[in-house]
Copies of this chain bind each other. A is one copy, B any other.
């Protein structure tokens, strides 16, 4: 049973005081070259690494960022955290990760654990049902900044990184209209999500600005489960005058909707065209992907969010303002084939 080496141990081995060892390791002035060398040798020999945990007591910095996501199994989020981790590690930060599984209670627990660990800052994509943000607000008492990305609270008081969904929707609809579609349906997501409302607003305004008739029955909802998506698709297919194109809330909804349509003997992108949000990497391998999808750059969003929080952390306290930071990325319509 070993114990991690400490400066104390090094000091004892060399008959030095711990402060000398500490200074030697930091190349401080006023330590003889010989001592410095010997200290470093022994340190290396023992595989000494400074104890970040002890350092925190002095510095108040853990060099750790907390990341809270709904779930990693969704490609969007695993790409995002990949961007976060890459950017963070470039700047010597570590990443503590937690999945809320779209459950507000778990989200609260994770926030608490991260408070316990005194992470320097937290990046979050909130759970589907989170309406109350008091667990995040409580972080102010700990001087832990929070940056929300993608799934952000529907209120102004928050640092956020998002994609301009209205713009993405406009691009998608312009694309379809150019191809001659006028009966454009929309399978939207759960009404609690801000993203749902934004996409709907984009849908309405895009259709209006392009002078396409807005039919209320063309907008249906899914809670993102395969079953709900199939029901939504079914609703669309049983309309007397059905849609010629369907926009899906995201790629998973598109997958389920397209599968259901295929089962109903509808030819994808011939009888009904599809356009989707988020752009799964696997589309390129599919024989019949949606005609296009709105790329939301999860990796980039993660990166930018990390950049934002590091900027906040590096702002000297006396310069802190009350302004909230907002980054809004432009999505891009990615046309398949």
Contacts and interface: CB of A to CB of B under 8 A. Distances in A.
Interface string A33-51: 0000000000000110111
A94 B113 contact: yes
B49 A115 contact: yes
Looking at A47, A50, A72, A114, which has the most chain B CB atoms within 10 Å of its CB?
A: A72
A285 interface: yes
Contacts of A62: 53
A118 interface: yes
A25 to B, nearest CB: 13
Interface in A81-117: 81-82, 85-86, 89, 92, 94-99, 109-110, 112-117
B64 A73 contact: no
A321 to B, nearest CB: 12
A288 interface: yes
Contact of A49 (B4, B52, B54, B116): B116
Contact of A51 (B82, B118, B255, B286): B118
A291 interface: no
A141 B2 contact: yes
A308 to B, nearest CB: 19
A138 interface: yes
Interface string A1-24: 111110000000000000000000
A4 B50 contact: no
Contacts of A281: 73
User: Taking the full assembly, how many copies of this chain does it contain?
Assistant: 2
A75 interface: yes
Given A53-B56, A57-B53, A96-B95, A317 B75 contact: no
A85 B64 contact: no
A123 to B, nearest CB: 13
A298 B189 CA distance: 29
Given A52-B118, A118-B51, A4 B72 contact: no
A148 B17 CA distance: 39
A288 B287 CA distance: 8
A8 to B, nearest CB: 13
A313 interface: no
Contacts of A117: 52-53, 64, 94
Contacts of A215: none
A244 interface: no
A270 interface: no
Given A49-B112, A82-B99, A99-B85, A1 B118 contact: no
Contact of A98 (B53, B89, B142, B288): B89
Interface in A116-130: 116-118
Question: Top 10 A-B pairs ranked by shortest CB distance?
Answer: A78-B78, A52-B116, A4-B142, A255-B285, A72-B82, A53-B56, A72-B78, A49-B115, A1-B317, A97-B97
15 contacts: A3-B143, A5-B141, A47-B138, A47-B142, A50-B116, A52-B117, A53-B53, A53-B56, A72-B78, A72-B82, A85-B99, A89-B99, A255-B282, A280-B282, A287-B287
